[in-house]
Amino acid sequence: MNQPVSHEHKHPHDHAHGDDDHGHAAHGHSCCGAKGAPALVQLTETASAQARLSRFRIDAMDCPTEQTLIQDKLGKLAGIEQLEFNLINRVLGVRHTLDGTGDIERAIDSLGMKAEPLGAEGDSTAAAPQPAKTRWWPLALSGVAAIAAEIVHFASLAPEWLVAALALAAILGCGLGTYKKGWIALKNRNLNINALMSIAVTGAVLIGQWPEAAMVMVLFTVAELIEARSLDRARNAISGLMQLTPDMATVQQADGQWREVDVREVAIGALVRVRPGERIGLDGEVISGQSSVDQAPITGESLPVEKAVGDKLFAGTINQAGALEFRVTAGAGQSTLARIIKAVEEAQGARAPTQRFVDQFSRIYTPVVFAIALAVAVIPPLFMAASWFDWVYRALVLLVVACPCALVISTPVTIVSGLAAAARKGILIKGGVYLEGGRHLDYLALDKTGTITHGKPVQTDAKVLEPVFKGRAQALAASLGERSDHPVSRAIAQFGKAQGLALSEVDDFAALAGRGVRGTIAGEVYHLGNHRLVEELGLCSPELEAQLDALERQGKTVVLLLDRSGPLALFAVADTVKDSSRQAIAELHELGIKTVMLTGDNPHTAQAIAAVVGIDRAEGNLLPADKLKTIEALYAQGHRVGMVGDGINDAPALARAEIGFAMAAAGTDTAIETADVALMDDDLRKIPAFVRLSRQSAAILMQNIVLALGVKAIFLAITFAGMATLWMAVFADMGVSLLVVFNGLRLLRK
């Protein structure tokens, strides 16, 4: 993970999602009053060369409350330079210069948590173990004791001491953990739900409300258990990705034998065999066999993809029809799937705007309400001759109602659920800030090649302009094109090879950015380039302009073969439009998003393709800097702009856009690492799906905030009126917490 940096939309495109927005994965229970702590905390100004990273699994660390406690505690230890929190997997990374990890483990033990040292850094393929199941019978017995205390007290069946004994048994049976956490929180001046509940139950006991104190503690423990289980669904939605790869792979040994080996032990370059119906354990390249592969876990594609020799395979995908042998291209911890998991985990570090608001609100809200509760308990009895019993009781109810647990919990659960739902569809979102920001987009800029079109153009026309080159022009152009990596040049080279032409040796080859290529063949310098290059070389003429114009109006890209004397031949190349592009543009228009195509191709080609697809406007002959200017111009008009490109050539425009979308990200390291949103296949329809998910997430976030604050407001009014009881307050607090959790989890079904 990178150092925290401030993040504005004017960001360079090597995102290190940073410190103003860091935080949680799905929360566990103890979330009230937590300070908003960053996912990565730098404790020293400079890093030591001798510092090493130790990693620990802390099962109790599932919320910013625990994160804050750990940060405050370890921040006081000498020799600790950096803390890295992964709340999804409950893993803490500590960069330190200590001789061992004993001091770190003892410090965490003092907080009531157990730190389990982990092995080597960087194995993201290992899923977090499931926490041990909580024993149910102590809670059941406590529930029976609490109900018995209520019945005995209500019916006056026994002396008060028996009621007290039953209530005390119930509290001790299920509430010791809450008391312990509450005491730790209070020692660290942190008013979380455990601290508030401990104060409320103790207060109820002190004023003689034994049955109610017992029932409150039991109800709280039950609700806490249900909430934790519910929150695990959000956590498991992402950690479930880790279960997609098998543990073993069939690998060829040095003696030629095939043997099953742990995937983590398979070296890059090893030969792996996968049978029909098996999951592929590692990234690789097919060297033998042919089959169809279900890539839905990686790309979200609904249909299997045919694989043959030379094609890429991704860990976690399913081989269907035939047997395949492939050469491993990435270790288990560095596969495309592993990088996706890592990106989603790190995305929790970028808090969404709503989440930041909620964190800031809760930090102010909780202490204020605690002070109000104290005033409610003291002021009426002292200055208004009111009953101490009544007003202390109301203050205790107010304490329980005051905790903004539902409010704090609602945002991370919704964000995590949205990120997980997107990942299942092959949409990798690099943080909650982008998930929430997608709904604001009203303009989308798109690259053409590989985005709207297939990116595999074919030569359609050829015309020799100098008769002396009639038999040589195609071969010369193909020779130059063979050395280029541009799709247009490659199309001309492929056409030449398909005709069986002998290609010439090219010396002094050079690519001319945005213009074409240059090379020397048999001592003569030739250019293969676009209209812009012809103009710059001063070799254009009205007759040539007319020929180019006629072809360009057909939506074709024209390149010319030139020598020092002028144009020798022209070649027209056309790219085919994806069917999915037409549907995607139509869906974007339905969502109210306008579109503009930005391409280096000529304007006529751009206009022709834009018309076919339904894009609002198109701009051609653009260099990377020109695309950036177009994005800037749209911003100046008040638009919120997204940009779709390949993550490399379109880097300036992608960086400036509100949200940068990278196409064909599967197998493209830079796309996963640099894009705000990476589409794991080249299907443009995933962008309207992303926008819809963003709008659904925002709607659920707003519903949760209104629900949480609305219920609090109602109960605060009821409390001041003296009509609320402690157990009603628990139902209100934990009930609304469960409601917002379940509401947030609805996104997993999207």
Question: Which residue type occupies 595?
Answer: T
Decide if 238 contacts 344 (C-beta within 8 A): yes
Find the DSSP H helices in 614-725: 624-636, 651-656, 669-674, 686-720
Question: DSSP characters for 458-470?
Answer: EEEEEEESSGGGT
3-state secondary structure 597-629: EECCCCHHHHHHHHHHHCCCEEECCCCHHHHHH
Alpha carbons 532 and 262: distance in angstroms, whole number = 55
Handedness of CA 532, 534, 536, 542 (dihedral sign): negative
Provide the 8-state DSSP code for 240: G
Rg (CA), the chain: 32
Question: Which residue type occupies 516?
Answer: G
Question: Which residue type occupies 295?
Answer: Q
Strand 641-645 relative to strand 443-447, pairing: parallel
The number of beta carbons lying within 10 Å of the beta carbon of residue 202 is 14
Alpha carbons 215 and 741: distance in angstroms, whole number = 23
| Strand, coil or helix: 184 | helix
Closest CA to 69 of 178, 187, 176: 187
| Strand, coil or helix: 394 | helix
Decide if 432 contacts 39 (C-beta within 8 A): no
Tokens 């097919």 map to which residue? 286
Decide if 350 contacts 22 (C-beta within 8 A): yes
Decide if 542 contacts 548 (C-beta within 8 A): no
Question: DSSP characters for 477-546?
Answer: HHHHHHH--SHHHHHHHHHHHHTTPPPPP-EEEEEETTTEEEEEETTEEEEEE-HHHHHHTT---HHHHH
CB-based contacts of 331: which residues, under 8 Å, 6+ apart?
A: 264, 266, 267, 268, 282
Alpha carbons 159 and 187: distance in angstroms, whole number = 37
Q: Which of 62, 283, 359, 447 is catalytic?
A: 447
- 447 labelled catalytic: yes
Closest CA to 708 of 368, 402, 369, 433: 402
Tokens encoding 362: 């809760």
In terms of Cβ atoms closer than 10 Å to its own Cβ (0-12, 13-18, 19+), residue 322 is middle
Tokens encoding 317: 């995908």
CA within 13 Å, CB half, 646: 16
Alpha carbons 417 and 438: distance in angstroms, whole number = 16
Query: Which residues are catalytically annotated?
Result: 447
